[in-house]
């Protein structure tokens, strides 16, 4: 079974990881030009948010 983890990067995107490998970086600042994916716009827009993790195991 695959292990899925959502890492909410401090001041950055949501990293969707499968078995420890980043599969996607999702925007959570609202300024991405590649929504729903992260374009790095959070850095230019001074986005601030706490970091955390959520692990899903089947």
pLDDT digits (tens, 9 = 90+) for 1-58: 789 999 999 999 999 999 999 999 999 999 999 999 999 999 999 999 999 999 987 6
Residue 18 tokens read as 């499968």
The half-sphere exposure of 13 on its side-chain side, counting CA atoms within 13 A, is 19
pTM: 0.90
User: What pLDDT does residue 58 have?
Assistant: 65
3-state SS string for the chain = CCEEEEEECCCCCEEEEECCEEEEEECCCCCCCECCECCCHHHHCCCCCCCEEEEEEC
> Encoding tokens for residue 58?
């089947």
- What pLDDT score does 13 carry? 98
């Amino acid at each position: 079974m695959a292990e899925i983890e959502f890492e909410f990067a401090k001041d950055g995107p949501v990293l969707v990881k499968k078995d420890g490998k980043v599969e996607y970086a999702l925007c959570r600042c609202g300024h991405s030009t590649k929504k729903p994916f992260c374009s790095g716009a959070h850095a230019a827009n001074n986005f601030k948010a706490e970091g955390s993790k959520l692990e899903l195991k089947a």
